[in-house]
Amino acid sequence: MRIAFLTAPEGVEQIELTDPWQAVTDAGDEPVLVSTKRGEVQAFDHLDKADTFPVDEVAGETSADSFDALVLPGGVANPDALRMDEAAVAFVRAFFDQGRPVAAICHAPWTLIEADVVSGRVLTSWPSLRTDLRNAGATWVDEQVKVCDHGPNVLITSRKPDDLKAFRETFVAEFAKRRGA
């Protein structure tokens, strides 16, 4: 499976990118870093700059049908920038339109709100997004990880870096169920 990891050029929480990335690799799948610009992505460890990672593909130049699933890492600045980029929002929305699984952690559901794909779904996130998600028509729950199987789509969400183990185990299992589907 080819799994897209969508991030803005700056602001992704490094552990929320690298930990799920490793889980995808360990499962024998191919992680692909997609961003809104060519070059590198600058990751952060909270507010401190961390490592950089090379961009494989650009959101406005690739499409969801090139991938089997999508992972949206968090960090505060990352989804805030993504939700302001039309190509990134369209890329995310296309995964839902095509019935492809999506996993999002921490602040990443901000991008899902902008893509208008949370209404009627049950999900979790960093607690400060609770009101935003409710206002967008979602039901917010305070759980380590939440799987929302909504028709042809499955959305896996998680709250924070402390929940990464449960997040990666759950989304890897859910993605595997859809392998070859």
Which CATH number do you get for residue 42? 3.40.50.880
Average pLDDT over residues 158-168: 98
pLDDT at 81: 98
Q: What is the average per-residue pLDDT within 58-82?
A: 97
Q: Supply the range of the domain harboring residue 144.
A: 2-177
Looking at the chain, how many residues does it have? 181
The whole-number pLDDT of residue 45 equals: 96
Distances (CA, A) of 62 to 43, 80, 91, 108, 132: 22, 21, 8, 20, 29
Distance separating alpha carbons of residues 20 and 5, to the nearest angstrom: 9
**Active-site annotation, residues:** 107
Distances 48 to 112, 117, 131 between C-alpha atoms, Å: 26, 31, 27
Q: Are 74 and 16 in contact (CB under 8 A)?
A: yes
- The number of distinct structural domains making up the chain is 1
Instruction: Give the pLDDT of residue 7.
Output: 98
pTM over 0.85: yes
pLDDT at 50 over 70: yes
Per-residue pLDDT reduced to its tens digit, 172-181: 999 998 875 5
